[in-house]
Structure 1
Amino acid sequence: MDDKIRLAAGIAKQLQGLSYDDKRLAEIAAEVEVLNEAVRKAANQRLTFDDDPAAFASVLAKEAK
C-alpha cells in the first residue's frame, strides 16, 4: 500500500469512520489526486496570497459549475 492509499485509508477511518478494501482505497486516492490538482490549478490562476480567504470558496463555487 503506497502513501497516498494509506493516507486515504486513514482519513476515511479517522474522520468518517469508514473502511474500504484496497481496490476502493486506490480509486479514492486517485480521485482525490485529480480533484486536488484541479483545485490547486484553479486557485493558483485566480488567487494571490493577499486575497480574502472567502475568495477561495468563491473560486471553488465557480469551478464546480
Structure 2
Amino acid sequence: MSDGLLLSVLERLLQLRVALGEEAFERASRAALLTIGRVAVDVAHRNAGLDDDEVSDGNVIRFPDRGPAR
C-alpha cells in the first residue's frame, strides 16, 4: 500500500470520526485496519512467490494471543 493511499485512508477515518461520532469511528477504523492487514498479507505472499493455492493455514505462523490491549 502506498504512503499516499494510507494517508487518504487515515484522513477519511478522521472525517468519519467527526461526522459519525466515536462508536461509528471505532467500527470504521477496525474495518479499515483489517483491510490494510489483508492487503499487506497478500503482498507478502506475492513477494514470497506464493500462489493463492500455496497459501493455507498450514504455512501461517501463529503468535500466542496475549489478550486484549491495555
For normalisation by structure 2, the TM-score amounts to 0.43
Structure (1/2) with the larger helix percentage: 1
